């Protein structure tokens, strides 16, 4: 991790959302013997002094109280127990103090209302579950609420949508700290695909098509194996046995983004892995990932990742181990 304490504090409270709490514990608290570098340290922090019961009466015991938050580099806020209940002032003060000291804050689902109550989202872009975005915008007009994305990374503060989007946001944070290859290894151990891009839609109302020919998974997998080629809408539509117009509509319904944006995301993701796990030059990576020129690759990579390819390799290439690479195969 870069200039951040590796202690991750996950909040627990009476009325806890167990699934979202479990996401954070699984990703940040589980031992990772497959890696030969220091992983996160983890602590469960009690918000309430009395018994903390989650759904269905499960009782949760914490490792520490709010007094440990000054030493945390990252604080995870699962969905809050009641959006109409103001969070306790000691919690809000602790979060404000942690933010001022540089800690990173990540909310899952309605946990965003805790950050909003603390005033830590004023003037920032944020998201939450699509059922709550209108309420969040109405109650906290100083926040720029984005209702259509999985998560928003504002740098020091990350907010995510519904429960499963919390997995994507947490994996995104792992990627920030350790690179794409390590994040993919963690995803593999979770038996899931690598985390989705934050800009993807969080809710698609169209039901899954019944006819097998309308299933785009085969086309997406084929495209991932042919990223070095100059793929076109015409090619992809033909593979899907659809007209271009129908394909564009169904693709956007299925992924929440256009084919062009999806291909760019996949090419950048592949480039990240190559920078971390190989000694290929930027020119070679650009060609293998389907960029028309190395200059175009560098511009796209910097725009998406925030670093030049060479700097990204300097930051994350040294973290690759044989066990981590094997975990992503």
3-state secondary structure the chain: CCCCCCEEEEEECCCCCHHHHHHHHHHHHCCCCCCCCCCCEEEEEECCCCCEECHHHCEECCCECHHHHHHCCEEEECCCCCCCCCCCHHHHHHHHHHHHCCCEEEECHHHHHHHHHCCCCCCCEECCCCCCHHHHHHHCCCCEECCCCCEEECCCEEEECCHHHHHHHHHHHHHHHHCHHHHHHHHHHCCCCCCCCCCCCCCCCCCCCCCHHHCCHHHHHHHHCCCCCCCCHHHHHHHCCCCHHHHHHHHHHHHCCCHHHHHHHHHHHHHHHHHHHCCCCHHHHHHHCCCCCHHHHHHHHHHHHCCCHHHHHHHHHHHCCHHHHHHCC
Q: What is the pTM of this model?
A: 0.76
pLDDT at residue 207 is higher than 50: no
Parse the chain into domains and list their residue ranges.
Answer: 7-189, 212-255, 260-327
Condensed to tens digits (0 to 9), the pLDDT of residues 249-258 reads: 999 888 878 9
| Mean pLDDT value across residues 169-189 | 91
**Is 312 or 317 the better-scoring residue by pLDDT?**
312
The set of catalytic residues is: 109
**Is 193 or 19 the better-scoring residue by pLDDT?**
19
Question: Which pLDDT score is estimated for 205?
Answer: 41
7-189 and 260-327 in the same fold: no
We find that the CATH architecture of domain 7-189 is: 3-Layer(aba) Sandwich (3.40)
**Is 210 or 46 the better-scoring residue by pLDDT?**
46
| Mean pLDDT value across residues 39-56 | 91
CATH number assigned to the domain with residue range 260-327, chosen from the 4 options 2.30.29.30, 3.90.340.10, 3.20.20.70, 1.10.10.60:
1.10.10.60
With cut-offs at 50, 70 and 90, classify the pLDDT of residue 321.
very low
**Is 91 or 209 the better-scoring residue by pLDDT?**
91
Condensed to tens digits (0 to 9), the pLDDT of residues 117-135 reads: 999 999 999 999 999 999 9
């Amino acid at each position: 991790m870069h200039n951040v304490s590796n202690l991750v504090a996950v909040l627990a409270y009476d009325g806890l959302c167990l699934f979202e709490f479990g996401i954070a514990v699984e990703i940040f608290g589980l031992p990772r013997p497959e890696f030969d570098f220091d992983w996160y340290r983890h602590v469960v922090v009690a918000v309430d002094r009395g018994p903390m019961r989650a759904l269905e009466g499960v009782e949760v015991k914490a490792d520490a109280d709010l007094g440990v938050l000054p030493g945390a580099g990252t604080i995870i806020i699962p969905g809050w127990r009641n959006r109409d209940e103001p969070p306790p002032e000691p919690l809000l003060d602790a979060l404000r103090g942690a933010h001022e000291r540089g800690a990173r804050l990540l909310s899952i689902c309605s946990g965003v209302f805790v950050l909003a109550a603390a005033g830590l989202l004023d003037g920032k872009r944020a998201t939450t579950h699509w059922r709550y975005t209108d309420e969040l915008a109405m109650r906290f007009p100083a926040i720029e609420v984005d209702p259509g994305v999985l998560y928003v990374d504002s740098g020091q503060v990350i907010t995510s949508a519904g429960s499963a989007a919390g997995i994507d946001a947490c994996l995104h944070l792992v990627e920030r700290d350790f690179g794409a290859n390590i994040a993919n290894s963690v995803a593999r151990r979770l038996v899931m695909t690598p985390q989705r891009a934050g800009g993807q839609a969080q809710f698609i109302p169209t039901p899954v098509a019944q006819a097998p020919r309308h299933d785009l998974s085969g086309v997406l997998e084929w495209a991932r194996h042919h990223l070095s080629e100059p793929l076109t809408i015409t090619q992809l539509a033909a593979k899907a046995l659809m007209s271009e117009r129908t394909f564009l509509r169904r693709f956007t319904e299925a992924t929440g983004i256009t084919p062009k944006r999806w291909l760019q995301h996949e090419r950048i993701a592949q480039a990240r892995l190559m920078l971390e796990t190989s000694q290929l030059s930027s020119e070679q990576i650009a060609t293998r990932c389907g960029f028309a020129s190395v200059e175009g690759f560098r511009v796209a990579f910097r725009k998406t990742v925030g670093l030049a390819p060479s700097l990204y390799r300097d930051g994350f290439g040294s973290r690759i181990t044989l066990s981590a690479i094997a975990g992503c195969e």
